[in-house]
Amino acid sequence: MTLPGSITVGKALGLNFMGSASTWYKLLILAFLIINPILFYINPFVAGWTLVAEFIFTLAMALECYPLQPGGLLAFEACVIGMCTMDGVKHELIANIDVILLLMFMLGGIHFVRDFLLFIFTKILVKVRNGILIAFLFCFVSGTLAAFVDALTVLAVIISICMGLYSVYHSHLCGDAATSRLSDDSFIPEDKKADLEQFRAFLRALLMNAAVGTTIGGMATLVGQPQNLVVGQVCGWNFMEFLIRMAPVSLPVMLFGYSTCLLLEKFKLFGFGAEMPQSVYEVLAERDRISTQSLSSRDKLRLVIQACCCVWLVVALAFHFAAVGLIGLSIIVLATTFCGVTTEEEVGKAFTESMPFCALLCVFFCIVTIIAQQDLFRPFIEWVFSIPKDTQIPVFYLANGIISAVSDNVFVATIYIEQVHDALLDKIITPDHYNDLAIAINAGTNLPSVATPNGQSAFLFLLTSAIAPLVRLPYVRMMWMALPYTIVLTIVGLVATMFLIPEFTPYFESMGWIPSSVAEHAAEISA
């Protein structure tokens, strides 16, 4: 059978199925869809881990096809054949509603203050000419902000800034071909292609340093990462107790993490160390000069309003006036109202980047539901509790880290901290050991998870953002650039968890900085 234009039905289906993706990738996804039901009938446990591996593979092939389509097909089939229930998926989505609201509204809020952020960071890039110092500033500032602001929000700001810088230079190179897409290099002059590639390498390093920075700073406080909040709530730790208990781990991690950033940039290792090309600097400097001189009174007022919105954002997040997503919604309302954005079309542009990732994250939570309902982690948990007590802390740290690198670290932290809390209630472990294990769980789900983009939602957001294909930052390159950080942070976190926590926790308790880990405190935690 043929369609108009002499195209057969089979060929039309081949062209429509996953669009322009390679034929081999389409066939592989079809093979997954055929194999999974058969494997699930034979051995559900093996089928569950096979599905997890397949989903991770779709993330790794993000530049071949956006993971929502192949990953969504795999998740949809898993629900149909009974790997998980739709009620379970709904429960997982409801449990993570704060993350979903964050993606829907916070990233949209950042869109409406991007002019101010781009103005400030362009000034930094123009005034600071030392590439090593720029990289360190991006890493350090991201880490500092992530201690009080969600890592996704911080990285969304950095992505918005890099996207703006790339747009300025790409538009300058294209000249009259202003309608060309940012991903279209056909209008780039031959003598400027080398500079563009170097600029891409420069932006890649900034993005990766910032992404790792959110991990370095985010593990230190109760609100720095979503899994921190889970651990803190189960343990009954308030903001200050969490900060002090984690300090013996978080402070060495900061020291070695930021030092790693400097060394990578100085010695140009693992894809770091690229300098901003002189031609790019000249374009940005000229653009900054012209834009500063041409600012009208209304433009200046708009920048002031956006600056006030940013101040409100930091204050509201630091004091937790509301859920992060709702604070983002308030930014949208305030920024659009006082900056003159009044049409639905203008507001809709803010959700262009966030909604695809929001949909992908919902698919990811479906995979997490499968992990839970198929008890894929149970053998690991049972094995850890079967080993001697003295070796449980490093094993918990490493087990959480390894699994977090291939799964959702919030889910891993939730599963492990609940199991440890149950062990405390059953008097299998002492309160002191419980607190040490909780610290190990928190550190484990934060640090080794930087090994892969799917280990943390911020890394996954960067991988699937619009900037990743523009600066040539696929899954494997992200893993390669994160590798030195993974090694350093994992080792430092392990050593600190094993040796510094037992050393400093009794001292903090004797000083009255944190409650003493006695039986009464365990009863309070249980309540």
Residue 145: how many other CB atoms lie within 10 Å = 24
Give, in degrees to the nearest 5, the angle at Cα 506 between 505 and 508. 65
Distance (Å, rounded) from C-alpha 217 to C-alpha 220? Answer: 6
pLDDT at residue number 454? 75
Distance (Å, rounded) from C-alpha 163 to C-alpha 300? Answer: 22
Token pair for 42: 């034979």
Distance (Å, rounded) from C-alpha 17 to C-alpha 2? Answer: 17
The arithmetic mean of pLDDT across residues 367-390, rounded, is 81
More confident residue, 256 or 14: 256
Distance (Å, rounded) from C-alpha 35 to C-alpha 41? Answer: 10
Residue 19: how many other CB atoms lie within 10 Å = 10
518: left (phi over 0), alpha (psi -120 to 50) or beta: beta
Q: Does residue 330 register a pLDDT over 80?
A: yes
How high is the mean pLDDT of the chain? 84
What does the pLDDT look like over 349-368, one tens digit per residue?
A: 888 767 887 888 888 889 88
Residue 130: how many other CB atoms lie within 10 Å = 11
Token pair for 416: 């492990």
Placement of tokens 């990743």 in the chain: 468
Instruction: Return the percentage of the chain with pLDDT > 70, whole number.
Output: 92
CA distances to 75, 99, 149, 200, 399 from 225, rounded to whole Å, are 26, 11, 9, 29, 19
What does the pLDDT look like over 89-108, one tens digit per residue?
A: 998 888 778 778 877 887 78
The arithmetic mean of pLDDT across residues 50-76, rounded, is 86
Q: Does residue 518 register a pLDDT over 50?
A: no
360: left (phi over 0), alpha (psi -120 to 50) or beta: alpha
Contact between residue 276 and residue 131 where contact means Cβ atoms under 8 Å apart: yes
Distance (Å, rounded) from C-alpha 395 to C-alpha 375? Answer: 20
Of 468, 464, 461, the residue nearest 155 (C-alpha): 461
Q: Does residue 434 register a pLDDT over 90?
A: no
Of 451, 444, 446, 443, the residue nearest 487 (C-alpha): 451
Placement of tokens 């869809």 in the chain: 33
CA distances to 2, 276, 312 from 330, rounded to whole Å, are 54, 36, 9
Phi, psi of 474 (to 5 degrees): -80, 180
The model's confidence at residue 2, banded by pLDDT at 50, 70 and 90, is low
The 3-class secondary structure across 108-173, one letter per residue, is HHHHCCHHHHHHHHHHHHHHCCCHHHHHHHHHHHHHHHHCCCCHHHHHHHHHHHHHHHHHHHHHHH
Distance (Å, rounded) from C-alpha 338 to C-alpha 100? Answer: 26
What does the pLDDT look like over 265-283, one tens digit per residue?
A: 999 999 999 999 998 888 8
pLDDT at residue number 70? 92
Phi, psi of 3 (to 5 degrees): -100, 165
The model's confidence at residue 519, banded by pLDDT at 50, 70 and 90, is very low
Of 128, 170, 121, 119, the residue nearest 290 (C-alpha): 119
Tell me the residue type at 269.
L
Q: Does residue 4 register a pLDDT over 50?
A: yes
The model's confidence at residue 412, banded by pLDDT at 50, 70 and 90, is confident
Q: Does residue 317 register a pLDDT over 80?
A: no
Q: Report the SS3 class of residue 20.
A: coil
pLDDT at residue number 321? 84
Of 261, 227, 89, the residue nearest 150 (C-alpha): 227
Tell me the residue type at 411.
F
Which residues are CB-neighbours of 363 under 8 A, at least 6 positions away? Answer: 67, 68, 71, 72, 75
DSSP classification of residue 43 = -
Contact between residue 121 and residue 145 where contact means Cβ atoms under 8 Å apart: no
More confident residue, 454 or 392: 392
The arithmetic mean of pLDDT across residues 18-29, rounded, is 88
